[in-house]
């Protein structure tokens, strides 16, 4: 896929996840944190498998869970493009629109702060003070950029519009109406699910829709009531839609709004959603766990395990008999025989249980799945079957994976691109073949040199043994976190955090002394 054809599904910017640690005594002044994810920036493209590799404890599982918002994100943005912001109408957009004037002023102040910090950095002579000034400038630049991105995502080209005030008022009005429309649409969906359930229950009893009308009066009344209610809600929705169209028509010719529409980013910042809003998107964003033994409820049958999510997300009503066929189809696509439907998890092998876990996730028709060490607990012979199943499903359902593993061979086999993590940071990211043949970060080089090989034709490669333990994520080393174990480290590495840069097209790395990459 050429770079320009790729569509970003999830954009992660400066993501941080810190876990606070309880104070060990009342005299301890400083609150300490485990810095599990520290300033991670990357794009995940639609339809790709992005592998994430690193030693245990490097923060890869935390990243998978944080971007799914299973952990609260400490800082940064996680923008999801699989759902339209207008369809969700999240509350945070309203908050930004309401305080647009103040935010715009704050943006100007942060810009000034950034420029001052840059001048201070430039004026310092080489040495420690310059390093510190650089860190201060980077912090100021990040603060400005974060607010700029937050605002520009919502109001897009309005940041360059002259008449910001009047335009933002109209936008706010439109947004308030849109929020109402979204509520009604949700209600219509829910009513439809219930209605389908009642109809399917009646059809199950052997009655067609026309027979139903003549038949049980109670059932007919129930359906009529739901249908009437639906018509009423649809009527309300259409008058709201007219109101929105009216507002839009009023500003259609306004040049500022043209800029607004053109520069508008319709992604949803998952980190800013309310619990309720995130619950709605949960269906789209799934997780497959490492341990197929503990991730399945032992008291539920396979059918119940798969149906739980379908009911919770109102894909089916409790009364809808069509769910059985749907579950059997999903099981079939995951290589599970239909007669397994009434069995319990303990009656299955590890590989089969992992298939059940996968079926539970894909039944919801997600866009994106985090596979967290999804094959690590399985026998090697079973691993390849599960990997092939995941690849088949990805192809069929157009899924996108974040595949987390400590196993470099598994990652190489399944991934289109690979990110390498060390102590909470992604230190290198590139297309799989590029990364494995031309590593540019010393840590990647060390990891790759340690992969055992059975290929006798391969030249004896130099094995780079990683010395020392992984430092503590509570007080990580200053500058480049890898400097305590890196054989190429120099003074600057101990003082300045290396910038995350695109060293070659699509090949990102954070290192002051990038390796050129060995030729094949
Ligand atoms: S920045 Fe320095 S210490 Fe860090 S990986 Fe690069 S060479 Fe090694």
Cβ–ligand 1 distance for 442 under 6 Å, the answer: yes
In ligand 1, the atom with minimum distance to the C-alpha of 492 is 2
In the prediction, which pLDDT does 456 show?
Answer: 52
For ligand 1, pick from 483, 497, 510 the residue to mutate: most ligand atoms within 8 Å of CB: 483
Which residue owns the Cα nearest ligand 1 atom 3?
A: 483
Cβ–ligand 1 distance for 486 under 6 Å, the answer: yes
Task: Assess contact for 515 and 439: CB atoms under 8 A.
Answer: yes
Closest CA to 140 of 109, 165, 181: 109
Distance in Å, CA 4 to ligand 1 centroid: 31
In ligand 1, the atom with minimum distance to the C-alpha of 486 is 8
In ligand 1, the atom with minimum distance to the C-alpha of 483 is 3
In the prediction, which pLDDT does 252 show?
Answer: 57
Residue 276 has pLDDT above 70, yes or no: yes
Distance in Å, CA 314 to ligand 1 centroid: 50
Residue 45 has pLDDT above 70, yes or no: yes
408 membership: H or E segment, kind and range = helix 408-414
Cβ–ligand 1 distance for 498 under 6 Å, the answer: yes
Mutual orientation of helices 91-98 and 164-204 as an angle, nearest 10°? 170
Count CA atoms within 13 Å of residue 60 on its CB side: 27
Distance in Å, CA 474 to ligand 1 centroid: 20
Find how far residue 396's CA is from the centre of its chain.
21
From CA 468, how far away is CA 479, in angstroms rounded? 18
Per-residue pLDDT band at 427 (split at 50, 70, 90): very high
Higher pLDDT, 271 or 170: 271
Average pLDDT, whole number, for the chain? Answer: 84
In the prediction, which pLDDT does 359 show?
Answer: 95
Cβ–ligand 1 distance for 483 under 6 Å, the answer: yes
In sequence order, which residues have a C-beta less than 8 Å from that of residue 303 and are 6 or more positions away?
324, 327, 341, 342
In ligand 1, the atom with minimum distance to the C-alpha of 490 is 2
In ligand 1, the atom with minimum distance to the C-alpha of 488 is 7
Cβ–ligand 1 distance for 482 under 6 Å, the answer: yes
From CA 316, how far away is CA 313, in angstroms rounded? 8
Q: Find residue 156's DSSP bridge partners.
A: none
- The answer to whether the Cα torsion of 70, 75, 76, 79 is positive or negative is positive
Per-residue pLDDT band at 290 (split at 50, 70, 90): confident
From CA 284, how far away is CA 280, in angstroms rounded? 9
Higher pLDDT, 127 or 406: 406
In the prediction, which pLDDT does 520 show?
Answer: 38
In the prediction, which pLDDT does 253 show?
Answer: 58
- Mean pLDDT confidence for 263-287: 89
Q: Sheet harboring 32-45: ordered strands across?
A: 32-45, 8-21, 75-80, 268-269
Task: Assess contact for 67 and 281: CB atoms under 8 A.
Answer: no
Count Cβ neighbours within 10 Å for each residue of 83-100 and write b for 16 or more, e otherwise.
bebeebbbebbbebbeeb
Sequence-ordered strand ranges (E) for 183-242: none
Distance in Å, CA 52 to ligand 1 centroid: 20
Higher pLDDT, 191 or 299: 299
Using CA atoms, how far residue 442 sits from 432, 447, 448, in Å, is 17, 9, 10
Distance in Å, CA 413 to ligand 1 centroid: 28
Domain boundaries, the chain: 84-266
Cβ–ligand 1 distance for 493 under 6 Å, the answer: yes
Higher pLDDT, 263 or 288: 288
| pLDDT tens sequence across 345-401 | 999 998 999 999 999 999 999 999 999 988 888 888 889 999 999 999 999 999 999
Using CA atoms, how far residue 84 sits from 22, 88, 385, in Å, is 40, 7, 35
Distance in Å, CA 55 to ligand 1 centroid: 17
Q: Tokens 């943005």 map to which residue?
A: 77
Distance in Å, CA 75 to ligand 1 centroid: 25
For ligand 1, pick from 477, 491, 511 the residue to mutate: most ligand atoms within 8 Å of CB: 511
In the prediction, which pLDDT does 179 show?
Answer: 76
- Mean pLDDT confidence for 168-173: 68
Cβ–ligand 1 distance for 489 under 6 Å, the answer: yes
Distance in Å, CA 486 to ligand 1 centroid: 6
In the prediction, which pLDDT does 379 show?
Answer: 85
Distance in Å, CA 506 to ligand 1 centroid: 20
Distance in Å, CA 406 to ligand 1 centroid: 22
- Mean pLDDT confidence for 36-53: 95
Distance in Å, CA 510 to ligand 1 centroid: 8
In the prediction, which pLDDT does 468 show?
Answer: 76
| pLDDT tens sequence across 474-503 | 889 999 999 999 999 999 999 999 999 999
Per-residue pLDDT band at 166 (split at 50, 70, 90): low
Residue 78 has pLDDT above 80, yes or no: yes
In the numeric block, which tokens belong to residue 290? 């490492």
Task: Spell out the SS3 assignment of 311-368.
Answer: HHCCCCCCCCCCHHHHHHHHHHHCCCCHHHHHCCHHHCCHHHHHHHHHHHHHCCCCCE
| pLDDT tens sequence across 186-210 | 777 777 787 777 777 767 666 555 5
Residue 37 has pLDDT above 80, yes or no: yes
Distance in Å, CA 517 to ligand 1 centroid: 15
Per-residue pLDDT band at 2 (split at 50, 70, 90): very low
In the prediction, which pLDDT does 518 show?
Answer: 44
Higher pLDDT, 197 or 60: 60
From CA 158, how far away is CA 96, in angstroms rounded? 13
Cβ–ligand 1 distance for 512 under 6 Å, the answer: yes
In ligand 1, the atom with minimum distance to the C-alpha of 487 is 8
In the prediction, which pLDDT does 455 show?
Answer: 55
Cβ–ligand 1 distance for 477 under 6 Å, the answer: no
Cβ–ligand 1 distance for 420 under 6 Å, the answer: no
- Mean pLDDT confidence for 43-70: 94
In the prediction, which pLDDT does 519 show?
Answer: 39
Q: Sheet harboring 49-53: ordered strands across?
A: 285-288, 368-372, 400-404, 49-53, 417-422, 425-431, 507-509, 501-504
Rg (CA), the chain: 27
Higher pLDDT, 29 or 136: 136
| pLDDT tens sequence across 208-244 | 555 555 555 666 677 777 778 778 877 777 777 777 6
From CA 374, how far away is CA 372, in angstroms rounded? 5
Tell which phi-psi region holds residue 314, choosing left (phi > 0), alpha (psi between -120 and 50) or beta. left
Name the CA dihedral angle for 276, 280, 286, 290, rounded to a multiple of 10 degrees. Answer: 30
Residue 56 has pLDDT above 50, yes or no: yes
- Mean pLDDT confidence for 131-143: 88
């Amino acid at each position: 896929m050429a770079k320009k054809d790729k569509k970003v599904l999830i954009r992660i910017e400066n993501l941080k996840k810190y876990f606070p640690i309880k104070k060990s005594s009342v005299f301890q002044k400083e609150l300490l944190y485990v810095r599990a994810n520290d300033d991670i920036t990357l794009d995940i493209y639609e339809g790709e498998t992005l592998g994430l590799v690193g030693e245990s404890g490097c923060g890869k599982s935390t990243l998978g869970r944080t971007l799914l918002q299973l952990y609260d994100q400490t800082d940064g943005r996680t923008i999801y493009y699989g759902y339209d912001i207008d369809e969700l109408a999240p509350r945070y957009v309203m908050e930004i629109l309401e305080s647009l004037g103040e935010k715009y002023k704050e943006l100007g102040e942060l810009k000034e702060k950034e420029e001052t910090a840059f001048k201070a950095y430039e004026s310092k002579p080489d040495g420690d003070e310059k390093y510190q000034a650089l860190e201060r400038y980077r912090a100021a630049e990040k603060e400005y950029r974060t607010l700029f991105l937050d605002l520009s995502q919502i109001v897009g080209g309005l940041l360059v519009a002259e008449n910001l005030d009047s335009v933002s008022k109209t936008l706010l009005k439109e947004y308030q109406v849109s929020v109402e429309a979204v509520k009604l649409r949700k209600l219509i969906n829910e009513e439809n699910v219930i209605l389908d359930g009642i109809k399917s229950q009646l059809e199950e009893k052997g009655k067609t829709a026309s027979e139903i009308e003549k038949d049980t009066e109670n059932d007919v009344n129930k359906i009529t009531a739901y249908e009437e209610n639906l018509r009423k809600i649809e009527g309300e929705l259409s008058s709201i839609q007219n109101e929105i169209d009216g507002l839009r028509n009023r500003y259609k010719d306004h040049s500022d709004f043209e800029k607004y529409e053109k520069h508008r980013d319709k992604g949803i910042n998952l980190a800013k959603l309310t619990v309720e809003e995130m619950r709605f998107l949960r269906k789209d964003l799934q997780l497959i766990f490492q341990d197929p033994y503990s991730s399945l409820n032992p008291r539920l049958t396979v059918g119940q395990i798969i149906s739980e999510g379908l009911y919770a997300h109102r894909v089916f009503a409790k009364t809808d008999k069509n769910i059985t066929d749907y579950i059997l189809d999903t099981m079939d696509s995951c290589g599970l025989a239909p007669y397994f439907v009434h069995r319990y998890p303990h009656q299955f092998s590890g590989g089969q249980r992992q298939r059940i876990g996968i079926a539970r996730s894909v039944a919801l028709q997600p866009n994106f799945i985090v596979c967290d060490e999804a094959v690590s607990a399985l026998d090697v012979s079973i691993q390849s079957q599960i990997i092939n199943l995941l690849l088949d499903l990805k192809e069929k359902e157009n899924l996108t994976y974040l595949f987390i593993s400590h196993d470099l061979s598994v990652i190489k086999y399944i991934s289109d691109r690979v990110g390498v993590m060390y102590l909470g940071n992604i230190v290198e990211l590139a297309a799989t073949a590029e990364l494995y043949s031309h590593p540019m970060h010393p840590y990647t080089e060390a990891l790759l040199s340690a992969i055992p090989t059975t290929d006798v034709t391969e030249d004896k490669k130099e094995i780079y043994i990683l010395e020392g333990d992984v430092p503590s994520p509570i007080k990580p080393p200053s500058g480049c976190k890898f400097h305590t174990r890196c054989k190429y480290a120099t003074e600057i590495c101990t003082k300045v955090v290396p910038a995350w840069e695109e060293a070659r097209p699509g090949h990102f790395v954070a290192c002051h002394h990038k390796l050129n990459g060995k030729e094949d």
